[in-house]
A and B are shown apart, each in its own frame.
Chain A
Amino acid sequence: MADPATRLNQIRSEAEAAIAAAKGTAELEQARVRYLGRKAELTRILRSIGELPAEQRGPVGKGANAVRQVLEALLAGRESALEGAELDAALLADPLDITLPGDPARPGGEMHLITQTRREMEEIFLGLGFTVLEGPEVEFDYYNFTALNIPAHHPARLSQDSLYFDDQVVLRTHTSPMQVRAMEAQEPPIYIVVPGRVYRRDVTDATHVPMFHQLEGLAIDTDMTLADLRGVLLEFVRAMFGTERSIRLRAGYFPFTEPSVEVDVSCFACSATGVLADGRRCNVCKGTTWIEIAGAGMVDPNVLGFVAGNGYDPERVQGFAFGFGIDRIAMLKHGIPDLRLFFSGDLRFLGQFGSGA
Chain B
Amino acid sequence: MRVSFSWLRAYCDPELNAQQVADLLTGSGTELERIEQIGVPEAEGFVIGKVLSVDPHPDADRLRVCSVDTGDGARTIVCGAPNVAAGQMVAVALPGAVMPDGTKLGEAKLRGIRSAGMILSEHELGIGEEHDGIMVLADERPAGAPLSDVFAIGDQVIEVEVNPNRPDCMSVYGVARELHALTGAPLAEDPTGPDAEPSGEGRVEDHVSVEIADPEICLRFTARAFENVQIGPSPPWLKQRLTAAGQRPISNVVDITNYVMLLAGQPLHAFDLDLVAGSRIVVRRAADGERMTTLDGVERTLDPGMALICDGEQPSGIAGVMGGQVSEVDQQTTRVLIEAATWVGPNVLRTSKRLGLRSEASARFERQLHPALAIAAQRLAARLMVELCGARLVPGTIDAYPAALPERTATLRLERMTRLLGSEISSADAVAILTRLGFDPSESAGVVEVVVPPWRDGDVRRETDLIEEVARIHGLDRLPATLPARRNAVGRRPRDQRLRAAAEDAIRGRGLSETISYSFTSQANLDRLRIAEEPLRIANPLGEEQAVMRPTLLTGLLDALAANITRGETDIALFEAARVFAPGTTPAPIADASPGGARAATERMTLGAVLTVAEPGTWRSARRAADFYAARALVEAVLGIYGVEASFAPPQPGARPYLHPARSAVLTHGPRGPEVGWAGELHPLVLRAWDLDGPSGERPVTGFELDLDQLADACPATPTYAAISDFPAVRQDIAVVVAEEVTAENVLAAVRGGGGDLLETVELFDLFRGEQVGAGKKSLALALEFRAPDRTLTDDEVVARREAIATALGEIGGALRA
| B303 on the A face (CB < 8 A) | no
| A219 on the B face (CB < 8 A) | yes
CB contact under 8 A between A169 and B516, given known A127-B491, A249-B476: no
| B465 on the A face (CB < 8 A) | yes
Question: Bound state CA distance, A122 and B498, in angstroms?
Answer: 12
Q: Is the CB of B513 within 8 A of A350?
A: yes
* Interface hits, A225-263 → B, CB 8 Å: 225-228, 230-232, 234-235, 247-253, 258-262
| B775 on the A face (CB < 8 A) | no
Contact of B497 among A132, A146, A250, A350 (CB under 8 A): A132
| A133 on the B face (CB < 8 A) | yes
Q: Which residues of A contact B423 (CB under 8 A)?
A: 225-227
List the A residue with the shortest CB-CB distance to B507: A109
| B331 on the A face (CB < 8 A) | no
Q: Is the CB of B540 within 8 A of A250?
A: no
Which of A6-14, A25-33, A183-191, A271-279 makes up part of the contact surface?
A183-191
Question: Bound state CA distance, A260 and B420, in angstroms?
Answer: 12
| A347 on the B face (CB < 8 A) | yes
| A210 on the B face (CB < 8 A) | yes
Q: Which residues of A contact B520 (CB under 8 A)?
A: 163, 210-211
Q: Is the CB of B468 within 8 A of A251?
A: yes
Which of A15-23, A64-72, A81-89, A154-162 makes up part of the contact surface?
A154-162
Question: Bound state CA distance, A228 and B468, in angstroms?
Answer: 16
Q: Is the CB of A346 within 8 A of B511?
A: no
Q: Which residues of A contact B615 (CB under 8 A)?
A: 106
| A3 on the B face (CB < 8 A) | no
Q: Which residues of A contact B603 (CB under 8 A)?
A: 136-138
CB contact under 8 A between A155 and B616, given known A129-B486, A350-B514: no
Contact of B467 among A219, A231, A259 (CB under 8 A): A259
Question: Bound state CA distance, A189 and B517, in angstroms?
Answer: 36
Bin chain A's interface residue count.
35 or more
Q: Is the CB of B29 within 8 A of A227?
A: no
| B589 on the A face (CB < 8 A) | yes
Bin chain B's interface residue count.
35 or more
Q: Is the CB of B477 within 8 A of A343?
A: no
Q: Which residues of A contact B601 (CB under 8 A)?
A: 136, 138, 165, 169
Q: Is the CB of A250 within 8 A of B29?
A: yes
- A143-176 CB mask vs B (1 if < 8 Å, else 0) is 1001100001111001110011110110100000
- A112-B515, A197-B579, A230-B481 are known; give 18 further A-B pairs, CB within 8 A: A107-B511, A110-B508, A112-B514, A129-B491, A132-B494, A132-B497, A137-B519, A142-B592, A143-B595, A155-B349, A160-B353, A211-B519, A221-B484, A227-B421, A228-B422, A253-B166, A262-B31, A298-B420
Residue pairs across A and B with Cβ atoms less than 8 A apart, 26 shown, are A104-B620, A104-B621, A107-B616, A108-B510, A109-B507, A109-B510, A109-B511, A109-B513, A126-B493, A127-B491, A129-B491, A132-B497, A142-B594, A168-B591, A168-B600, A210-B520, A221-B485, A225-B423, A227-B480, A230-B481, A249-B477, A253-B166, A306-B594, A345-B564, A345-B574, A350-B513
Contact residues of B with A, CB < 8 Å?
A: 26-29, 31, 163-166, 345-347, 349-350, 353, 366, 419-423, 462, 464-465, 467-468, 471-472, 476-477, 479-494, 497, 501, 504, 507-520, 536-542, 546, 549, 556-557, 559-561, 563-564, 567, 569, 572-575, 578-579, 581, 584, 588-589, 591-601, 603, 615-616, 618-621
Contact residues of A with B, CB < 8 Å?
A: 100-101, 103-104, 106-112, 114-115, 119, 122, 125-134, 136-143, 146-147, 152-155, 158-160, 163-166, 168-169, 171, 180-181, 184-185, 189, 191, 197, 199, 201-203, 210-211, 219, 221, 223-228, 230-232, 234-235, 247-253, 258-262, 298, 300-301, 306, 318, 342-348, 350-351
